[in-house]
Structure 1
Amino acid sequence: MNLADMLSYADIVQLSRIASTYRCECNGHSKNELIQSILSTVNRRDVFETQIKSMQLEDLRFMNSLLFDLRDTFSLEELLARAEQSKFGAEEDKQEVPDTARISEPSQAKKSSKRTKTQKPAPPAESGPRATISRFKQYGWLFNGISGPNRYLFQVPHDLKRRFKEAMERKFVSQLTFVYDEPQAYRDEQQLLGEDVKELLTFIHHNEIQLTSDGAMYKRSVLQIMDRLAVKEQLPGKGEWRFGYGRRMKDYPNRMSLIYDYGYYNGWIAEGESELTLTPAGLERQASGAPEGTDKLYRFWLRLYKNAMPNLRSLVYWTDKLSEQWVTAESLKYALVPYIRPFYYDSSETLFEQRIVGMMLHLGLIRIGEHAQFGKVIRATPLGRAVVAGLNLEDEDAIVLD
């Protein structure tokens, strides 16, 4: 439902709170006047933009997480968990006091000096996840369900979702540095990952591959496979911290581990006690000789990396949307890193550079170039624009490979 529909179902108490938040001047006893006044105020672009600019970073993160969830309703527990997850880097999240608040400080101080000693100071403003949800309800951005079991579920108006996306895009664009000429060189890996799925299966089919006691291939086999793949990678360093991005991330390079885990997840690869082989389904898949589709690999990647980055889908959307033309990697990182929660020893910057941009390059979703003046630049590929825009994923569970 859109905002107008949800307002019509809201009770007069909630409407009065929303109208008070937007300082609407109307008859507070008339539900119709409250609705019309709220709609006319919220639909003004200057009012909406002001609200966005005044939001704290943790609130923007919270809203961003709701924009890319295809479900229409959320339980209170889900919203509380999301609001809690939106709090990280607390010291960096603190914003300066708006100018309007600074102007009012002297008069407020003057008033407070006239208070008698018997007066108690005002209680501190409510904070925490529940306060976040309360604020969003007062802004008319979250509504309780209408009746029945849905009474305890919350919804975001569909038209406000669209306007939030547009407002956040304008906010991000204002932080970016675009490049209007072609870089001197760029990497483009469109379709290569799908071809290498076929190459891995073919190598396993034609070779006897011995496994270590924990089920990993020996270094010699890994090097032989990488010689056949279109993109060369370095082996993981000894003692390097690697987990959270797939079953074999600890054993193989990033791109190769994604290919291997993809084959294992689809039931094409069998890890015996001492040897790696193809299953009957794997033999059938290998015999077909066709490369794997980018959309299937993309879907798998989103679900596999969802454990470490629950909001990966939104980050991919923004990376794709903001790189319709060449944009500097540094400015894109500056805009999106505040929305990336660190994962153990992986900083937000590492997640952006290696887990998002690096893997989007391998998937063929973006190009990465080197510009003589601006350094590293990024641009979405035609294939990437089609895959990201055309994929209509349900809210699938993250993949955990044992």
Structure 2
Amino acid sequence: MKLADMLSYADIGQLSRIATTYRCECSGNSKNELIQSILSTVNRREVFETQIGSMKMEDLRFINSLLFDSRDSFSLEELIARVQQSKFGQTSAEPAAVTPSVLPQPTAKETKKPAKRSKKSPVPAVESGPRETISRFKQYGWLFNGYEGPNRYLFQVPSDLKERFKETLGKQFLAQAVYVEEEPHAYRDEQLILGEDVMHFLDFVYHNEIPLTSDSVMYKRSMMQIMDRFGVKEAFPARGEWRFGYGRRIKDYPNRLSLIYDYCYYNGWLSEADSLLTLTSAGKERQLKRIPEPSDKLYVFWLRLYKGAIPNIRAIVHWIDQLSHKWVKLASLQTVLTPYIKPFYYDQPETILEQRLLGMMMHLGLLRIGDDPASGQVVRMTPIGRSIVAGLSIENDAIVLN
């Protein structure tokens, strides 16, 4: 639903609170006049852009987490969890400190007639916890409750405001990105190779006896033989390297091999019984097809597998796609995106962006990574990457492979 539709369902008390927040000059007793005044104010480009520009980082992270979710509605518990996730370095019991608010709660008199419109942008209400953040977003007209049945307990962001948020944030991000006009001297492009290596992996398991350790891990010799068949070579993880949270076998195998293994395991193609790695009946059926795995299926799996460690991975991938339509300096991408990436234990935002996101997107064939003598590392989305990221409706649940 669009903002106008949601306003028409709102009661006059909520409309009055929104009108007071925007300093609308209108009668507080006329629902139609309140709606028209709110729409007139919110639809002014300078008002909206000023609001976005004055938002705190945790608020930007919160709204960013809602913009790319395929669902239309969110429970209060979900919103509270997202607000808490947006406050990096703070526990749920430690709300962010903010400057005192100068925006009073509307009195009965103000409810009847909101304050006259001011040229100054509205000032956020004082925040002392997730519920207050959600309440403030409702006062801005950015979140609405449902109006009947079970939907009364769910919240929605107006669809047209979602697009305006994306457009405004995109302009701000693009202004910070630094682009390179010339093609780099060398770059890595792995389009379609990962899907072919899934096929090679299944072939190897089918034709060879692969012993497993007591922890159901392949021995190094088997891993080397498998990767010799792959189109992309990888180094083995360093001894004692911190590795967990990005898949079932990330602690045992290199990043790319781990993704291939977990993908096959999740699809029910692998058996780890009796200290041997073999194909299941479904795996043998898949192996007989002798065709590469589609890139879009691998991408969807990767998003869901990494979602546990990077909850807002869909939003970050969207912005990488938008900012990398041509060769862009990696350093500028870091500047723009790392404030939106939450550390995951010992993985810092820079590491998550470079290794877990950009590195894996390259393996998936979604982008190219190049080296430029003058600009350092640069990245650019591939044509197939742009179409895959733009054209998919993806499940939101994270994949957990125990």
Aligned position for 2:278 = 277
TM-fit CA distance, 1:284: 1.8
**Larger deviation: 164-173 or 273-282?**
273-282
CA distance in 1, matches of 2:149, 2:71: 18
Conserved 8 A contact 1:74-1:153: yes
Alpha-carbon distance, 1:95 to partner: 11
Give me the whole-angstrom Cα distance separating, in 1, the residues matched to 2:300 and 2:361: 12
**1:380: which partner in 2?**
381
Q: CA deviation at 1:209?
A: 1.0
Q: How does 1:149-188 map to 2 (within 5 A)?
A: 149-188=150-189
Match of residue 23 from structure 2 = 23
Task: Report the CA distance between 1:33 and its aligned residue.
Answer: 1.1
CA distance in 1, matches of 2:252, 2:174: 39
Alpha-carbon deviation of 1:96? 10
Moved beyond 3 Å, runs of 4+? 93-97
How much identity, in percent, do the aligned residues show?
68
For residues 400 and 382 of structure 2, the distance between their equivalents in structure 1, rounded to whole angstroms, comes to 29
Shift of 1:238: 1.5
Q: Is the 8 A contact 1:320 1:388 kept in 2?
A: yes
1:116 matched residue in structure 2: none
Name the SS of the counterpart of 1:273 in structure 2: helix
Aligned to 2:330: 329
Counterpart code for 1:274: S
2:290 aligned partner: 289
Q: Distance in 2 between the 1:358 and 1:192 partners?
A: 14
Greater CA drift, 238-247 or 44-53? 238-247
Q: Any idea what the Cα deviations from partners look like across 1:198-243, whole Å, max 9, x if unmatched?
A: 1111111121111111100111111111111111111111221111
Correspondence 1:3-402 to 2 at 5 A: 3-89=3-89, 125-395=126-396, 397-402=397-402
Following the alignment from structure 1 to structure 2, what is the Cα–Cα distance between the partners of residues 201 and 34? 63
Do 2:98 and 2:126's aligned partners in 1 also have CA atoms closer than 8 Å?
no
Q: Which residue of 1 aligns with 2:118?
A: none
Partners of 1:59 and 1:379 in 2: CA distance: 29
- Determine the C-alpha separation between the residues in 2 that align with 1:237 and 1:373: 31
Q: Which amino acid aligns with 1:44?
A: R
Distance 1:394 1:401 in 2: 16
Q: What secondary structure, in the 3-state scheme, does the structure 1 residue paired with 2:25 have?
A: coil
Q: By how many angstroms is 1:126 displaced?
A: 3.5
Deviation at 1:309, TM superposition (A): 0.9
Letter in 2 for 1:64: N
Question: Which residue does the alignment assign to 2:106?
Answer: none
What stretches of structure 2 of length at least 5 have no aligned partner? Answer: 103-124
Shift of 1:268: 1.2
> 1:125: how far off?
3.1
| Whole-angstrom distance in 1 between the partners of 2:379 and 2:68 | 23
- What do the CA deviations read for 1:365-388 (whole angstroms, capped 9, x no partner)? 000011121110010000001111
Instruction: For 1:15, give the aligned amino acid.
Output: L
Distance 1:379 1:52 in 2: 27
Give the residue type in structure 2 aligned to 1:236: P
Q: Which amino acid aligns with 1:83?
A: V
Please say if residues 305 and 398 of structure 2, whose CA atoms lie closer than 8 Å, have aligned partners that are also in contact: yes
Q: Secondary structure at the match of 1:140?
A: coil
Distance 1:202 1:74 in 2: 44
Change (3 A) 1:184 1:94: farther
Q: Is the 8 A contact 1:56 1:95 kept in 2?
A: no
Q: Distance in 2 between matches of 1:302 and 1:210?
A: 30
Q: Distance in 2 between matches of 1:334 and 1:96?
A: 24
Output the amino acid matched with 1:135. Answer: R
Distance in 2 of aligned mates of 1:153 and 1:386: 32
**DSSP 3-state at the match of 1:276:** strand
Name the amino acid aligned to 1:216: V
Report the residue type matching 1:45 in the other structure. Answer: R
- Relative to the length of structure 1, the TM-score reads 0.90
| Structure 1 unaligned regions, length at least 5 | 102-123
- The separation in 1 between residues aligned to 2:385 and 2:39, in whole angstroms, is 37
Amino acid at match of 2:77: E
* 147-156 or 382-391, larger mean C-alpha shift: 147-156
Query: For the residues of structure 2 that align with 1:80 and 1:393, how far apart are their CA atoms?
Result: 23
Contact map agreement 1:56 1:94 (CA 8 A) in 2: no
**SS of residue paired to 2:72:** coil
Q: Amino acid of the residue matched to residue 234 of structure 1?
A: A
Deviations 1:292-335 (A, max 9, x none): 00001001111111111111111111111111111101101111
Instruction: Tell me the secondary structure at the aligned position of residue 227 of structure 2.
Output: helix
How far has the Cα of 1:150 moved from its partner?
A: 1.3
